[in-house]
A and B are shown apart, each in its own frame.
Chain A
Amino acid sequence: MSWLLALPVLIPFLTAVATFLARHSALGRWLSVSGSAALLVAASVLMNAVLREGVIAGQMGGWAAPFGITLVADLLSAIMTLVTAIIALAVSVYALADIRQGMEQLGYHALFNLLIAGVVGAFVAGDLFNLYVWFEVMLIASFGLLVLGGRPSQIDGGIKYVALNVVSTILFLTGIGLLYGMTGTLNMADLAGATERMDQQLLTVMALLFMIAFGIKAAVFPLFFWLPASYHTPAFAVSAVFAGLLTKVGVYALIRLFTLIFDHDVAFTHTILLWVAALTMVVGVFGAAAQSDIRRILSFHIISQIGYMVLGLALLSPLAMVGTVFYLVHHILVKANLFLIAGVADRTSGGTELARIGGLYKSAPLLALLFVIPAFSLAGFPPLSGFWAKFLLVKAALNLEAWLIAGIALGVGLLTIYSMTKIWSQAFWQPHPAGTAPKLEALAPGHRAALLIPIAVLATLTLLLGVMPEPFVQIASRTAAQLLDPTDYINRVLGVQP
């Protein structure tokens, strides 16, 4: 059982080592692709096992919980691991064409796989300190990826990204220290029980410390400023994996902590989360409306979408949690895909600044079709995946008679359409300002395949989620049930026989 949990972390880690050793040869990029493919297999096996048997917990080194290092996968962890593996494979194929040899020699593939190892590690970590360590692995790899290439804009964005994320890390560490001082344990399943015996008001203070730390990572209002400062600067493959996965690890940590440990004073903590969610949605979408570069528009939309996920967590009803889980999966697939498409638009049309590009619909109709699916899924058009994600959350808000929040969620969806149609009309519909016709055929055939196949696969998955949401909603409701009643999680980790 332990192997099942350790493999999704070990595979990208070993791939990182192998690709670092092979960074001067063309072998490195293929190692990266095969490592990601192996990760996908391991993640699928884990997902299958969790679906069949429920929560799986393993103790590394044979020390029983809460003393040893616990790896644990419930449905949320397994789903996130699987989606991470899908994105890792898509981006590593895309990187075959997108990443220049110079960046490969500086160790792009090693950093990329280290980042994936950190992300997956955070999803299966069973105690807070390990979560911290995996966050750091992820963070240091992302620092490297962000500034790889060394253009002035990357250094500029990198400074802001590094500064604010390190502050978040320090807050997280302080929270861990204080929580350990109060409870004497850091195992999350153990903490869920230990916190009941503590001073509840002091616990709320702890909750807020963690909320701020993970709020910075998840880029919620008013802590998101590092994100739009940096996400549009690195290589397209890098920004796609950042956009898809990094902030979602923050959201995952928020979900984990605020369903498992800090559920003692929901009226206080989750009300704060609710208003944070509303402001995040609104500020993100207005920020996007003011931008004129594809990647900067998309960056602000990440923020506004994070608001939706936090909204589900804040409402904390079964339906709202289903919505959050569905939203997470939908968002990761769609967002990474849109950044990948921005990369192809840049290659063929000569930029991502909307005023300088155009004519893609006429000369590259395939790309236009591939853009329409994720873009209008993001905006929430039926029958695409974003529609169901938003529908579940709005329905949950209406059921709880939170009219204002439901109205905000709907309004933000409308404004998302505005941004997406802005990209559509300027990059695809209007003729190119220089009078040229950007064609996909201009790309080398090998590059064309490497760039378009991942985009097409992710778009197909988006369609699949949208056209037949039933099985996915089923899994999401089982996930939500596990999150809202963590007894099984706690028992499996601590080895209590039911």
Chain B
Amino acid sequence: MEPLFAVTIGILVSVAVYLMLSNHLLRFIFGLVLISNAANLTMFVAGRLTVGAPPLIKEGMDAPLPQVANALPQALVLTAIVIGFGLFAFAIVLVVRACTTLGTLRPDDMRVAEPKGPQQ
């Protein structure tokens, strides 16, 4: 199971890096979404994978069965997903705003804050 996840994470990261380096903000955001999912998966796998063993205690028992999923990474990943959702919602709105006020989505053309050459 883990090797499959490792390969998936690797593919996600490589696609994300490719997108993030392509001098276009929308692609950059997509890359960011992918790489953040790769990070979440990394954390999930790092907490060890178990198949078909929910992190629950059976009714009438006061301890989980020996084979049980680790609930902590699930909680961490859930938190990270929520935070990531907020960040990306903001980032996408910012990109839309950049498109309307700056008239470009190419980072290389965005020189309003740092104009080339001496300022007038």
What residues make up the interface of A, taking CB atoms closer than 8 Å to B?
129, 132-133, 136, 139-140, 143-144, 147, 150, 152-160, 162-163, 166-167, 169-170, 173-174, 176-178, 180-182, 228-230, 232-233, 292-293, 353, 355
Contact = CB atoms under 8 A, between A and B. Distances in A.
A234 to B, nearest CB: 11
B74 interface: no
Contacts of A166: 32, 36, 87, 91
A176 B79 CA distance: 13
B51 interface: no
Contacts of B86: 140
A133 B43 contact: no
Interface on chain B toward A: helix, strand, loop, or mixed SS?
A: helix
B61 interface: no
Interface in B12-49: 20, 25, 28, 32, 35-36, 38-40, 42-48
B46 A152 contact: no
A349 B119 CA distance: 18
A64 to B, nearest CB: 15
B118 interface: yes
B110 interface: yes
B79 A180 contact: no
A213 to B, nearest CB: 11
Interface string B53-93: 00000000000000000001100100110010011001100
The 3 closest A-B pairs by CB, nearest first: A181-B46, A177-B43, A156-B112
A158 B94 contact: yes
A184 to B, nearest CB: 9
Given A132-B80, A174-B39, A180-B76, 11 more contacts: A143-B90, A147-B97, A157-B113, A160-B113, A167-B20, A173-B43, A174-B43, A177-B39, A180-B72, A182-B46, A353-B119
Contact of B28 (A155, A163, A292): A163
B98 interface: yes
A173 B46 CA distance: 12
Given A153-B112, A181-B47, A232-B113, A133 B25 contact: no
B101 A140 contact: no
Contacts of A177: 39, 42-44, 46-47, 73, 76
A159 B28 CA distance: 11
Interface residues of B, number: 40
Nearest to B86: A140
A153 to B, nearest CB: 4
10 contacts: A129-B79, A136-B83, A147-B94, A157-B113, A159-B95, A159-B110, A169-B87, A177-B47, A182-B46, A292-B119
Nearest to A163: B28
Interface in B94-114: 94-95, 97-98, 101-102, 107, 110-114
Nearest to A230: B113
Contact of B35 (A133, A147, A170, A230): A170
Of the candidates B25, B40, B90, B102, the one having the most CB atoms from chain A within 10 angstroms of its own CB is: B90
A155 B94 contact: yes
Nearest to B90: A143
Contacts of B107: 159-160
Contacts of A292: 118-119
Contacts of A230: 113
A356 to B, nearest CB: 9
Contacts of A133: 79, 83
Nearest to B93: A147
B98 A173 contact: no
Nearest to A181: B46
B94 A174 contact: no
Contacts of A355: 119
B110 to A, nearest CB: 5
A256 to B, nearest CB: 20
A225 to B, nearest CB: 10
A235 to B, nearest CB: 14
B56 to A, nearest CB: 18
Contacts of B95: 159
B113 to A, nearest CB: 4
